[in-house]
Structure 1
C-alpha cells in the first residue's frame, strides 16, 4: 500500500516547452519587460472594473507559463497582490481565475510559493470557498436546472481550482500535507458526494466537467503516492468500485487521455506486486494512451504567441493551452507510472514471459522515442535507468542484445547539452548495462569519464552523479586484459579517497567499489596494479580517516546511509586482512 512514491515533490513541475526554448535575457531587457508588460498588468489587478481585472488575470496566467515572465511577475509581488486584491473581489469569476492562477504558480514554483501562501493563511481562504462550493453543489444536486450555464461552469471551475491548489500545496511540503490530512474527512465526503452524483454508470454519462473529474483523480492518485493511510482509505472509505470506474472511463468518449492514465495510476496503488498479469494490463493501457499523443502539435499550441486584445479570444486560446498542457501532463504521468512500476516489479524473483517481453520491447521503444523530446528527456531517462537495473536483478535472455542497443542510442546524445540529472540517469543506465554486457569502450571515452569524475567529485550537490561515474569506471576497471585502464581508474579513485574535498557519501562508495575490483588475487591486474602501487598500505593509512567520516554521519539525518557507511567501514578492516593474507 502506498508503494508508488514520487522521486521528489519539488520535481513535480509541469513539463513546459517554454522552459526549454526560452533564451536568456539581459537585466536591461528585463527592466524593459517589467516596465512595458509586467507593471501595467499588475496595476490592472487593482482595477475596480471587472473586465479589466479579468483580462489582466488571463494575460498573467498565460505569461506565467514562461519561467522568465513568471520570475519578473513574482518579483513585483504578484502573489501578495492576488491575495489582497483578487481573492477578496465580489466578482465570482475573478475569484475563480485567481485560484487558478495561484494553482499554476504553486505547481510551477513549488515550495517557496506554497509555503508563502500557507503562512498567509491560504488554507482558511480555501476552506471558506470550499464551504461556499458545498452549498452550491447541494443546490445543483437537488435541482441541476436551478443553476444556469454560467453559474454551473463557475461552480465546477472553482471546485477544480481549489482541489488542484490543495494538491500543489501538499506536494510542496510534508508539513502542509500532514495539516491537510487532518482536515481530510470533510474534503473526502464532499468529493465522494460529487462522484456519486457525477458518475452515471447506467447511462454512461458524466455530469461534471472532465477537468473537474481529472482534478479529483489527481488528488486521489497524488495522495495515495504519499500516504499509506490514504491508500487504505481508498477501499475502506471512498466507496468506489475502481474496476467499474475504469470501464466507465474507457467506454465514454468524453474522457481524456489524462483521465485514463490517472485511473491506471490509482489502480497501480492497489495491485499486488506479485500479480504480473495486472502489470501487463497496466503497461498496455498506459502505452496505448501514450502513443496516441502528438507531442509536436501540443508543443506548438503551448508556444504560440497569444493576442490578448479580446477577452473572448484570450479565453478560447487559454482553453486550447489547457488541453495541450493536459496532453503533456499525460506523458509526464505515464513516465512517472512506468518508472515506479518497474521498481515495484523488481521485488519479484522472476518475470513472466509476457511481462518481460512488454518491458524489453514496447516500454523500451517508447522510452527511447521520448528521449529526443527535451521536455520529457529527464523522465524518460530515469525510467530507462530503472528498466536497466531491473534486468540486472532479474535476468532474461533477450535483454543482453537490447541493452547493447540502448547504449548505442544513449551514446549518440550530446552530453554537453544534458543537465546533471539527465547525465546521472545516462551513466546509471551504462553502469547497469555493464553489469550484463562487457561493452568494449575506447580509451578516449574512459579518459573522458575519469576527467568528468575528477572535475565533479568535490561537489556535494552532484554526489549521485559522481557515484554513477564511479560505478561505471569500477565496472570498466574490472575488465580483464585492461591493466593500464585499471591503473588509470584506480589511481583516480585512490586520489579521491585521500582528498579532503571528497564528500563522505562518495568516499564510501569508492571504498565499496574497490573491495569489488580487487576482491580476487587471480584478476590479471591485481599484482601489476594493487600490489605494485602499494594500495594496501594506502588503505591502511586511510583507515583512521574513514573511521572519522563514518562517525560524523548523523543517523538522525540519514539512517540508511549511516547503516551503509557502517557496513563499508567494517568491511575495510576485513578487506585489509584479506589482502595481507595474499602476500
Structure 2
C-alpha cells in the first residue's frame, strides 16, 4: 500500500508578530522623492541626538509607506546606517533605530540576511546587559537613580520587545544564524520575562515565549541550559498550573510548546521511571491547556470583524488593505477588536500544531536520505536491471514478513488519556475550527480584512492537518479500533469533508485555498483507509476526486493524495461499476508517457492493493476482462526506464520507492498470472 506522507514537524510559529507594529507607525503615503530622502538619512549622523532620533523615527514611517520608498532607502544603504546607530551614546536614538529595524524586517523579510551579514548581532549583544539591568530594576521596583534611569524604565518594554523580535526573526531565517544566536546565551534573558509574566506586559512575555519556542525546537545545543537549570522547567509548569487568565492564553500555549521542545530534558529533570512514562505525564499536563485554548468561536469573530471594518472607523493601508492606525493616534475600539482576533487566531494555530505533533509521538524516525555503502556501490543499474521472476519470491517473503509485524494493545488504547481527549474533546473542536466562515475565510475581496482572512485560512489548514495526523495515528493502532468504535464519527467526517471541499472549491482560486483542499484530500485518504468497507460513498465523490486530480495539473503531491484516496473506494465490495471507473482512470495514468514518477508509483501501489486477490467481486469483471494484466506486462519496460532515470544520489527516497514499486510490479505480474490456475 502506498504510504501517505505525514505532516512534517516544522517551526512552531504563529502569524509573524513582526507584522504587528506600534500604533502610529504604519501609514499610507505617496512616493517620496530621493532629494528628500537623502537629507533624512544624513541626519542619522547629525551632531544633535534629538535630530538623530527624529531621523530614525521618520525613516520608520517611510519603511512602512510603500515598496518604492523602501527600495529607495535600501539603495542608499539604510541598513548600514541604522546598524551603526545601534552603538549610539543616546538611549532614545537606539530605541528609535531598533523600532525601525524591526519594522523593516516585517515588510522586507529578506533583509534579515543583510542584518546578519552586517554583523548586527555584535551591537545587539552589547545592548543585552543594559536591557537586563533596567529590567531588573523595574521588576524589583528599585529607587530611581536619575532622570536617565527614569527614561530607560519608561521605555524598557518597547525597547525589549523590539530587541526580542529582531533576534527572533534572525533565528528563524537560517540554522546557521541560529547557531550564532546560541552563542549569545540568551535563554536566561527570555526566561526572565516568562518567570515575571505577572509583572511584564503580556506582549513582551509573548515575544520572549515565541523566540524561546523557536530557539528550543530541534536545537540540542540549547537543551543543556534547561538541564543545568531545572528551575526553568518548574517555572514553565507553574505557568501551566496558573493559566486561568484569558489574556494569558498564548503565554500558556507557548509554555506548552517550549516544554514539548525540550521534553528530553524534562525527563531528565523529573522523577519518572522511563521515557514513555515521562512523555505520558507531560501530555497529561499539556493537553488540558491546549484543549482549553481551542474554545474560540471563529464564526462569531468573523462576523464581528466584518462589522468592525464596515463601521468606517478602521483605517486601512492603501497597498495591503491591512489595518493601519492613524499616525500618533491610539487604536479605536474596532481596530483593537480586529487585533484581538488576529492574536487569538494566532494562538489557535500554535495549539493545533502542538496537537498535531502529539499525534506523531512514537513514530519511527524518517529515513535520512543517505544510502549505505553497499547501495551506493550498486549504482543506478541495481534493482531496475536485476529484478526477475527467479528472485522475486525472496522479495515477496520479505514484504509478507513486514506486513505481519503488528504491535499494540487494544485495552491500553481504550484507556489511553491522549486518545480519549482526541476522541471526545479535540476531534469535534477540529471539525468546528476547520469549517470556513461564510464571510472572511475566502472573501471575494481579499483586501477587505486581509489579516483576519489569513488567520482564518491558516487556522482551517492547521485544524485539517491535525485531523489528518490523528487519523493516520488511528490507522496504525491495532485492529483500527477507533474506526470501529466511532464509525459514525468517521463517516460524518467523510461527508463533511466533501461538502466543505465543494464549498471551498467554488471560491476564488488562491494559494491558501489550494493548500487547504490538498490537506482535505489527505484526510479523506486517511479516513478511507480506516473505514474500508464502511466508506459512505456519495454519488459524486469519485467524480469530484478525479476532477481534483485533473485540476491539479502538474502538482504531483495533490495527485498522489487523490490516487491514495481512490484506493479504499475502489476496494469496496458490491460496487463493480465504481471499481471499473476508477481502475480505468488509474490505467490511463500509468499509460501516460509524460506522467510524473511519484504519481505513477502511487498508481502502481493502487493496483497492488486493490487487485491483490481474485476473490474480490470486482477482480474478474474489471482486472481480468479489462485486460489489465497484459497492459501491465507491456508497461514493464517503460516503468523500468522511468526508475533508471531517477538519480539515486539526488533523489534517494524517490529512487528507493521507485525500485520497490518495480520489484512489486514484477512480483504482481507473476502472482496474477498464476493466481487462477
Give the structure-1-normalised TM-score: 0.79
For structure 2, which runs of at least 5 residues remain unmatched after alignment? Answer: 1-5, 21-26, 44-50, 267-274, 316-322, 365-406, 442-455
1:218 counterpart residue number = 210
Query: 1:1-57 CA deviation, whole Å, 9 max, x = no partner?
Result: xxx996556997549999xxxxxxxxxxxxxxx995354899669634655753663
Segment of structure 1 superposing worse, 294-303 or 277-286: 294-303
Distance 1:195 1:472 in 2: 46
The correspondence for 2:604, drawn from 511, 529, 535, is 511
Secondary structure at the counterpart of residue 480 of structure 1: coil
Question: Cα distance 1:567–1:310, how it changes in 2: closer, same or farther (>3 A)?
Answer: closer
1:39-96: CA deviation from partner (whole Å, max 9, x where unpaired): 48996696346557536635855x7xxxxx6x66666666976525545555223212
Give the structure-2-normalised TM-score. Answer: 0.69
From the superposition, tell whether residues 409 and 345 of structure 1 become closer, same or farther in structure 2 (CA, over 3 Å): farther
Contact 1:15 1:329 in 2 (8 A): no
Aligned residue in 2 for 1:235: 226
Instruction: Give the superposition deviation at 1:238.
Output: 4.8
1:357 partnered with 2:348: no
Within 5 Å, which residues of 2 pair with 1:110-125?
Answer: 112-115=110-113, 117-118=115-116, 121-122=117-118, 124-125=119-120
Distance 1:327 1:443, change over 3 A: closer
Question: Is 1:83 the counterpart of 2:79 in the alignment?
Answer: yes
1:446–1:380 distance in 2 versus 1, CA, 3 Å: same
Deviation at 1:579, TM superposition (A): 0.9
Distance 2:606 2:641 in 1: 20
Q: Does 1:192 align with 2:205?
A: no
Deviation at residue 550 of structure 1 after TM alignment: 2.2
> Could you say which residue in structure 1 is the equivalent of 2:122?
127
Give secondary structure in 1 for the equivalent of 2:250: helix
Q: Aligned residue for 1:137?
A: 132
1:483 matched to 2:576: yes
What is the CA–CA distance in structure 2 between the aligned matches of 1:333 and 1:279, rounded to whole Å?
16
Q: Aligned ranges for residues 24-423 of structure 1 at < 5 Å?
A: 37-39=30-32, 47=40, 48=43, 50-51=53-54, 54=57, 57=60, 61=64, 82-84=78-80, 86-89=82-85, 91-105=93-107, 109=109, 112-115=110-113, 117-118=115-116, 121-122=117-118, 124-138=119-133, 141=136, 145-146=144-145, 148=149, 150-172=151-173, 176-185=174-183, 187-188=184-185, 190-193=186-189, 195=191, 199=195, 206=198, 208-230=200-222, 232-248=223-239, 250-251=241-242, 256-269=248-261, 270=263, 272=275, 275-291=279-295, 295-296=301-302, 304-305=314-315, 309-313=326-330, 325-344=342-361, 349=408, 351=413, 352-371=415-434, 372-373=436-437, 374=441, 375=456, 376-394=459-477, 395-396=481-482, 397-413=484-500, 414=503, 415-417=505-507, 419-423=513-517
Q: Is the 8 A contact 1:388 1:432 kept in 2?
A: yes
- 2:194–2:208 Cα contact (<8 Å) kept: no
- The answer to whether the 8 Å contact 2:560/2:599 transfers is yes
Residues 221 and 262, structure 1, Cα contact 8 Å, conserved in 2: yes
Instruction: Report the secondary structure of 2:615's partner residue.
Output: coil
Identify the structure with bigger relative contact order (alpha carbons < 8 Å, sequence gap 6+): 2
2: distance between equivalents of 1:327 and 1:80? 39
2:209–2:251 CA contact under 8 A, matched in 1? yes
Residue 25 of structure 1 is matched in structure 2 by: none
Deviations 1:88-128 (A, max 9, x none): 5552232121132134236xx5xx4444544xx24x12321
Q: Structure 1 residues 152, 384: closer, same or farther in 2, change over 3 A?
A: same
Map of 2:592 onto structure 1: 499
Q: Give the C-alpha shift of residue 577 in structure 1.
A: 0.7
The answer to which structure has the higher helix fraction is 1
Distance 1:101 1:547 in 2: 54
Number of paired residues? 538
- Equivalent residue of 2:540, what SS? helix
- Matches of 1:432 and 1:358 in 2, distance apart? 20
Give secondary structure in 1 for the equivalent of 2:491: helix
